[in-house]
Amino acid sequence: MASLDISSILQGGYQHPVSRSWQGKRGLSKSMFMYPIFITDDPDASTIIQTLPGQRRWGVNKLKDFIGPLVKKGLQSVILFGVPLNCIKDARGSPGDDENGPVIQAIKVLRHNFPELYIACDVCLCEYTDHGHCGLLNADGTIDIGPSVDRIADVAVAYAKAGAHCVAPSDMMDGRIKAIKRKLIDNGFGNKVTLMSYSAKFASSLYGPFRDAAGSAPSFGNRKCYQLPPIAKGLARRAILRDVGEGADIIMVKPALPYLDIIADAAQLAQDHPIACYQVSGEFAMIHAGAAAGVYDLKTMAFESAESMVRAGCTLILSYFTPEFLDWL
């Protein structure tokens, strides 16, 4: 029999379920989960999204009955995505801050019915522009950066005025964090609204179901001129540092699972900021598909994926699994 060295033996430290639970710096909690919700402009909509298991596009009239039971289970935060299907889109994304648009209406309904619920809003123009890009364009089809960030900041302020607790720009335009922060401060929201930056948002294959849900595929070209190349660790680190310097309150990495190293980098580069990650539509759909194919158990894999994100350094996870985790935790 081999004589084992004292320093070889680790298993005694994690042989029991309770001692296993002590091995993380931090465990999962309900407040770590923010639920992404698609709000459409048909007020009575409750439309199944085929590519996103269990998720729907909601109309404002349905929100109270949909969110109420989740709040009772411990839901603490949501992030709203506008899905305008009936509005007239234009080059500057005018419907984005329309007072009667779905997002502004939804903020008001949620604030009124669920005063304790933290409401974040995705801020972008692509759902509202006729060309489907996230900014305003020059005549040659390239992004016109100055007017783009100015317009994005206006939309952010409109959501703040409607009562959002957090605005989260997902466009990846250079300088938009500084522009939004400035405009929030100038409009009296500097101390009232959180600015969560999609700092390291990669051009990923995992956004397919979201585009299906939000109807936001660009009409020409793609978003690779502003979303990061998957291999770009250095660029991601620069974007994170830039957004910290420009006044972001929360740093986000998106997608999550293929970019755990970037989450870990963010946790180290922005040590004093909360770090968020977005377990995007394709990650969610992939976990469901694998479970349906018998590759693993859905709940076990959902936990493993979320725990990997916490281990990498996140304290906030945007996830379509949020309702399930409210039951599981």
Is the bond into 255 cis (omega within 30 degrees of 0)?
yes
Shortest Å distance, C-beta 135 to Zn ion: 8
Shortest Å distance, C-beta 137 to Zn ion: 13
Instruction: Check whether 211 is labelled as a binding-site residue.
Output: yes
Binding mask 98-127 for Zn ion (x = CB under 5 A): --------------------------x-x-
Shortest Å distance, C-beta 53 to Zn ion: 24
Q: Which is nearer to Zn ion, 223 or 273 (CB)?
A: 223
Q: Which is nearer to Zn ion, 176 or 273 (CB)?
A: 176
Shortest Å distance, C-beta 223 to Zn ion: 7
Measured CA to CA, the distance from residue 60 to residue 108 in angstroms comes to: 9
Measured CA to CA, the distance from residue 119 to residue 212 in angstroms comes to: 23
Instruction: Check whether 126 is labelled as a binding-site residue.
Output: yes
Structural contact between residues 204 and 282, judged by C-beta atoms closer than 8 angstroms: yes
Measured CA to CA, the distance from residue 176 to residue 170 in angstroms comes to: 10
Helices (H), the chain: 17-21, 63-72, 102-113, 145-162, 176-186, 208-214, 233-246, 260-269, 281-292, 298-312, 322-328
Measured CA to CA, the distance from residue 140 to residue 130 in angstroms comes to: 16
Q: Which is nearer to Zn ion, 32 or 126 (CB)?
A: 126
Instruction: Check whether 225 is labelled as a binding-site residue.
Output: no
Instruction: Check whether 151 is labelled as a binding-site residue.
Output: no
Tell me if residue 201 is catalytic. yes
Residue 269 is given by DSSP the state H
Among the listed residues 89, 181, 183, 201, the single catalytic one is: 201
> Is residue 134 a contact point for Zn ion (CB under 5 A)?
yes
CB burial of residue 321 (10 Å; 0-12, 13-18, 19+): buried
Q: Where are the beta strands (DSSP E) in 26-101?
A: 33-40, 46-48, 56-58, 77-83
Q: Which is nearer to Zn ion, 135 or 313 (CB)?
A: 135
Tell me if residue 224 is catalytic. no
Q: Which is nearer to Zn ion, 58 or 210 (CB)?
A: 210
Shortest Å distance, C-beta 110 to Zn ion: 22
Binding mask 164-183 for Zn ion (x = CB under 5 A): --------------------
Instruction: Check whether 320 is labelled as a binding-site residue.
Output: yes
Give the relative orientation of helices 233-246 and 176-186 as an angle to the nearest 10 degrees: 20
Measured CA to CA, the distance from residue 184 to residue 156 in angstroms comes to: 8
Among the listed residues 161, 181, 254, 299, the single catalytic one is: 254
Residue numbers in the known binding site for 5-aminolevulinate are 211, 223, 281, 320
Could you list the residues that contact Zn ion (CB under 5 A)? 124, 126, 134
Q: What are the residue numbers of the active site?
A: 201, 254
Residue numbers in the known binding site are 124, 126, 134, 211, 223, 281, 320
